[in-house]
Amino acid sequence: MKTRLFAAALLLALSLSGQAQDKYSLKVATQKMIDLTDQENYEDLIGTVYPGYFNIVTKEDYINQLQKKIEGPDYVVHRIRVEPSIDYGAVKKAEYTTFCLINYDTMLTVELKEKTAPENVPAKEAFFKKLFGTEDAYYNDSNNTVDVKKRLHIIAIADESTSNQWTFIDPSAPNAREALHEVIRKELDGEGIEEVAAPAAPQTPEQAKQAKYAEAKKAEEAKRQSVKKKS
């Protein structure tokens, strides 16, 4: 009895440990993606993007899209490094795809190259609201800048194509929905699936050894009980 309880407790501990590590890895991967974005390190940022997106858009076009947003003929965008308020949705899995919807704040300062006349301020604000998909964009007359704040919505995805490592995609990006699994599109449309436990992180050699030991003990106990019943 004690052996069986020990084996069950050990397996439970390993399972909970794997889930905790996976949630931790999601947070680490998310922070890395945000840091690379703030640093405008697009070459490394590509490595955090869900690879399925590059079946729709080339990596060169992806970088061009980002660069066009941060510099135009009459403005330059500077990212403001802030501690992001990150909200993680439920980790869900369906048909070999694990995903999580994530929301976080980002702040930008748009440096205008020429002074904006008062009568042109509304049009300027409207332009940047549309460009960044937010209603929070206001002209700062003292600095001749436009201050922008936006709540970003992204999707973390781990599947076979990512070697089950977390990658990210902005569903509002051009043609992004075409790269998404149908179940994720349904989730975005409000036709979600039930939450499931996050997949266990890859086992360390020591964890694998412990799990193998627990399974052996479990099999040994089952054999012993079978012999008792026969006798």
User: What pLDDT shows up at residue 70?
Assistant: 86
Task: Print the domain residue range for 152.
Answer: 2-198
Residue 225 placed within a domain: no
Phi then psi dihedrals of residue 83, to 5 deg: -75, 110
Please answer whether residues 183 and 174 qualify as being in contact, where contact means their C-beta atoms are separated by less than 8 angstroms: no
Cα torsion at 125, 130, 132, 135 (round to 10°)?
A: 60
Residue 213 placed within a domain: no
Residue 210 placed within a domain: no
pLDDT in tens, 26-59: 999 999 999 999 888 988 999 999 999 999 999 9
Residue 216 placed within a domain: no
User: What pLDDT shows up at residue 198?
Assistant: 42
User: What pLDDT shows up at residue 186?
Assistant: 86
Residue 192 placed within a domain: yes
Residue 42 placed within a domain: yes
Residue 171 placed within a domain: yes
User: What pLDDT shows up at residue 163?
Assistant: 93
Please answer whether residues 138 and 149 qualify as being in contact, where contact means their C-beta atoms are separated by less than 8 angstroms: no
User: CA 96, CA 127: separation in Å to the nearest integer?
Assistant: 41
Residue 123 placed within a domain: yes
pLDDT-flagged residues of the chain (< 70):
1-21, 191-231
Q: In angstroms, how far is the first alpha carbon of the chain from the final one?
A: 19
User: CA 45, CA 132: separation in Å to the nearest integer?
Assistant: 19
CATH code of residue 117: 3.10.450
Domain count, the chain: 1
User: What pLDDT shows up at residue 84?
Assistant: 74
User: What pLDDT shows up at residue 73?
Assistant: 92
State CA 198 to chain mean position distance.
14
Q: For residue 67, how many other CB atoms are within 10 A of its CB?
A: 11
User: What pLDDT shows up at residue 199?
Assistant: 42
